[in-house]
Structure 1
């Protein structure tokens, strides 16, 4: 199984493809140079397979590369960052 995480700016979300099929996304709202993550969804067929974690990890890695910061309003993104404190430096308090 191969994962690919890529941004879809037109839909304001990062998407994960599993073997070239859309398996989930994490949605954001741009706000003053930050991305406020509001919702994450994984297709039922891919739940319990680590797809959600791969999606958030791939998203956060891309944000780090770009020098972006985020506000994790989405409970799934917030919980992932709590479990992986190496990403805590990307988080800012909501303005």
Structure 2
């Protein structure tokens, strides 16, 4: 039986609400809608930027690389950003 991989939404849902480095910023963006959240997380993962700040810390970059690996080939385009925004703004609701 092949290994089971989480879908892209599950990867982001498991990571961003629980990562203290970016959780507050992500939650703030989620309060303004799923599109703002998508842009913020995409900037983190793809561009290694947290707003105006470039991310250069090795630990942070390794974390972002692990997220990309977990996303596999589908990347961020298949994430249900509404669901991730809900996980950030209303934890425990589904």
Question: Where is the strand percentage greater, Structure 1 or Structure 2?
Answer: 1
The answer to which structure, 1 or 2, has the higher relative contact order (CA under 8 A, 6+ apart) is 2
Q: Relative to total residues, which structure has the larger helix share, 1 or 2?
A: 2
TM-score after normalising by structure 2: 0.28
